[in-house]
Copies of this chain bind each other. A is one copy, B any other.
Amino acid sequence: MSSEWTGDETVASLGEAETLSRILPLMPAARDTLLGPGDDAALVSAPDGRFVVTTDLMVEGPDFRRAWSEPHDLGWKAAASNLSDVAAMGARPTALVVALAAPTSTPIAVLEGIARGLSDGCAAMAPGAGVVGGDLSTAPVLMIAVTAFGDLGGRAAVTRSGARAGDVVAVSGVLGDSGRGLDLLFRLAVDHEGEPDARLGSELRGRDAGVRWHLAPTPPVGDGVRAAEAGATAMLDLSDGLALDATRLARASGVVIALDSSSLGDDPHAALSGGEDHSLLATFPSGTPLPGGFRPIGTVVPREHGAQEHAHPVTLDGIPLAQVPGWDPYAWSPEAR
């Protein structure tokens, strides 16, 4: 556990105004801001008369453990998961707002670390995007709710429903790394009672790229606009595992997605079932030169005439995936384990 979690100067000892004055200067500035933090609301440019919006919540316990995550990781990951959703529409991220609830005993250094993580994450994944507003409250556990915005530059949004038979299925980013990292943490970085252990987590992080990806992923945000410009017919962010997310895309498009196991790396099961990679899954018309980091992993084929709408619409080497492993925050919460 990083020493930031144990400082003496807490949000309660500083109060809201001083807390804000400490963290606001650390937040990334947004290029498209017309009016930033400090009023009842912010004003953001939407050059083509529309804006893309997504929201994603991270809660201590189900979504992260303070023994394993540093504050900087939390800000970075909150940025990553939201920026990736904006990218998956084919949009350029422009701005974020951040609502944060923390126990009153939380050291100010934790909030400063989160702010720096948001800033560094935006700079690395979506230069020019920044934080235009936020809210603070108290809670028994740390919670970060980010809402992110994007600009389509006059293009149509790339939804989940546009895949057509004959399209190439492609992915940009890792497959299964985040899930493998989380599995490793739960197997190797816990104490005798199964509770997350900070020292073991820190050691594991130094040795394993999957653990690092799980704690602070760097999804290929810029590939969202590249895919849209290259003519992607459908796209989504891989947050719940390839099997479940490909099923969503296939159902929304009324097609079958035929995956090729040889393109899924050494561990196709992990690639199919691991959540939180935040890679981009997209379909492109056959013959399209794949942009950025996209690589082919399968093809789109027609749904058989008479096939039920709820038949399993994803195949692996021609065999229907009979059961779709995926991630359900309620079914998988620590309380339910």
Task: Please list the residues of chain A having a beta carbon within 8 angstroms of any beta carbon in chain B.
Answer: 11-12, 14-17, 19, 34-35, 38-59, 61-63, 85-86, 88-89, 91, 95, 97-101, 103-105, 132-141, 143, 145, 147-150, 152, 157, 159-160, 235-237, 252, 328-331, 333, 335-336
Contact = CB atoms under 8 A, between A and B. Distances in A.
A52 B42 contact: yes
Nearest to A160: B39
Contact of A57 (B63, B137, B150, B160): B137
Given A59-B101, A137-B57, A12 B335 contact: yes
Contacts of A336: 12, 104
B42 A330 contact: no
28 contacts: A15-B330, A16-B331, A39-B159, A39-B236, A40-B54, A40-B89, A40-B160, A42-B52, A43-B89, A44-B51, A53-B97, A54-B133, A55-B97, A55-B135, A55-B145, A56-B99, A57-B100, A57-B135, A57-B136, A59-B101, A59-B138, A62-B137, A62-B138, A104-B333, A104-B336, A138-B329, A140-B140, A147-B147
Contacts of A16: 328-331
A334 to B, nearest CB: 8
Given A39-B236, A55-B147, A138-B329, A47 B49 contact: yes
A97 B54 CA distance: 8
Given A50-B45, A330-B16, A143 B139 contact: yes
B44 A53 contact: yes
B41 A91 contact: yes
A330 B56 CA distance: 24
A97 B39 contact: no
Contacts of A35: 157, 159
A141 B99 CA distance: 16
A86 B39 CA distance: 10
A50 B34 contact: yes
Contacts of A252: 38
A237 to B, nearest CB: 5
A80 B63 CA distance: 29
A56 B38 CA distance: 14
A15 B138 contact: no
B41 A85 contact: yes
Contact of A53 (B63, B143, B149): B149
B99 A133 contact: no
Given A41-B85, A137-B63, A330 B52 contact: no
Contact of A50 (B44, B54, B85): B44
Given A40-B160, A104-B330, 17 more contacts: A15-B331, A16-B328, A16-B329, A38-B252, A39-B89, A41-B85, A41-B89, A41-B150, A44-B50, A44-B51, A48-B49, A53-B133, A56-B99, A62-B138, A63-B137, A99-B99, A104-B335
A336 to B, nearest CB: 6
A137 B45 contact: no
